[in-house]
Each structure stands twice: as structure tokens, then as C-alpha cells.
Structure 1
Amino acid sequence: MLNDANLQAADMPDTEFTLTRNGFGRLVLTLGDGTAHEGVVPVRAFPIGAPDDGIGMMSTDGHELAWIPRLDRLPAPQRAMVEEELAAREFMPEIQRIVGVSTFATPSEWTVQTDRGQTTLVLRGEEDIRRLAGTTLLISDSHGIHYLIRDLMALDRASRKILDRFL
């Protein structure tokens, strides 16, 4: 079990809190006034554009209880707890290469190499490929899993050529 520590949010000078785990492994946030909230969930404000900036600690009923302006400002044990919770909650593999597609019409089956290994996804339609900021793309498959292409220009030429057919 990780040790307790007082955390100070930089832009909320009056908000101190401790972060621990209960016997079931759920996060417990205790505010400066002694109020404890079990089962809190960290939520990134900008999960793709600025994943380490702005993390809200949310109650089970969806209310923000505390704000962490920068993840790297937390002491290591608490940062590890928050990162573990975020990893369990967020699943967004990054596509590194498009190995092949079944057809250039939709729906089509794509075989892709991701940072988590090779997989197959089904693209229902071109509208399931969304441009985010700059050269970042978000692809949603038929099961609702989101795949990230952080930088379209970092993909190999063959992968970019396949994507061009769908964009």
C-alpha cells in the first residue's frame, strides 16, 4: 500500500487533500476539512492534446472534488496511483502502421500495427475517421474502440496512401 501525502494544487491554494487506496484498491480522496470520498476517478481535461495538464478528481456522482493542474507536480506515490487509474480507464491504442485493408469501400476490415500489437478493426464509414488538431487522427471501429494516429506524417508512405483513400 502506498503512503499518504498532502497534495497542494497550485491554482487552488486553499485546497489540500490526501490520496490513498482503501482495502478494495479504490482511490480515496480526503479533503483538507477531513471529508473522505471513496471511489474517486481521475479524468483528464485534454487526454490527447495535453495529457499531463489538468486532471480532475471526480466523485462517484460526477462532481469535481479536486483539480490537479500538472500530473508531474504530484509526489511519486500519488502520481503512480493516478496514472494506474487513468491507464485502467483509458484504452486508446496508437496506430503505428496500416498493414492492409480488405477493401477501399466501407465497411472495411483494417489490419493495423499499434503500440499494443497487431490487431484488426472494422471501419464502418469514412465519418469514423476524424481529424483532430493538425495531423492527429482519431479512428473509431465498429466496437467503439478509438485508435489514435498522433502524427499522420510519421506513418510510412504505404499507410498514408491507404488513409488518403478514406479521407
Structure 2
Amino acid sequence: MKKLSVLFAAVMMVVSVGMAKAQKIATLDVAAILNAMPEKKKADTELNTFADTKQAEIKKKADAAQAKFQQYQTEAPKKTSEENTAREAEMKKLGEEIQQMQDKAQKDFLAKQTAAYDPIEKKLNAAIEKVAKANSYEYVMDSNSTGILYKAGPDATAAVKKELNIQ
């Protein structure tokens, strides 16, 4: 019985050491790296300038619409109902134009952001993969989140899907 206990302890020790060596994990601060990249700083500056320009255009149009609205409110009692209806339609159209400008500006910003950040993300991911392979890291995790940035070990997704009977 004593030999069995010693054998069990020896097996557990070997398994423990093997498991400890089996996974080499590293963490990194992705936000700090991105904020230190000159390409990211340049992209941020360009995006801020673009957003400020679009916002100024929208504000200019909105201010003009607001001035026209106040003028129409002041003159409304002196105008006919047909003129007031036409002015209301004009104000509605102006409001729709401003909304369309905002929507277009948002779409343009997102497109410009994607175009600016995609190469930066690819460069960062390539660097992470290179460092991970050079240092034999199986996993690299973002220290600011729970996300894994690089993974070299086996993937159990298919086995879990099979167990749950999903495709």
C-alpha cells in the first residue's frame, strides 16, 4: 500500500511538472503599444481633423437652419397659411439634409478609420506572432482584457460543437 502511495505521488508530480511546462503564456499591453506607434498617432490626428471638419460643416448648416427657423417663427403671424406651410416643408427638408449630412459623415469617418487602422493592426499582429514564435509562447493575452491575441495550441472548438450537437 505504501508503494502504491509513493507511486501515485510520483505520477502526480510528473504530471504537474509536465502541465506547468506544457503552456507558455505571455501578456502584453496592447493599448500602450498602439499608443506608442507613430502610425497610430498620425492616424489619430488625421481622423480628428477629418471629424472636426465634418462637424464644422454640419454646425454651419445647422446654424443657418436655426436662423431661418427663428426668422420664419417671427414672420409667421404676418404670412398666409400657404406660405407658412411651404416654410414648414422647407424647414423639414433642411432638417432631413442635416440628418443625411450627419449620417454620411459618420459612414465616411468609419470608412476612413478602418482604412487607417487596418494596416496598423496587421503590423501589430505580425509583430505579436513573430515574438510569440521566437519565444515559444503558446498564448499571448492582452493584459487589459481577457482576449487572446495569439494562440498556438490545439483548438477544442470542433470537439465542443460535436459534444453539443451543433455545426
Structure having the higher helix fraction is: 2
Common fold, TM-score beyond 0.5? no
Q: TM-score range with shorter-chain normalisation? A: under 0.3
For the pair shown, which has the larger CA radius of gyration, 1 or 2? 2
Q: Is the strand fraction higher in 1 or 2?
A: 1
TM-score normalised to structure 1 length: 0.20
TM normalised by structure 2 equals: 0.20
Greater relative contact order: 1 or 2 (C-alpha under 8 angstroms, separation 6 or more)?
2
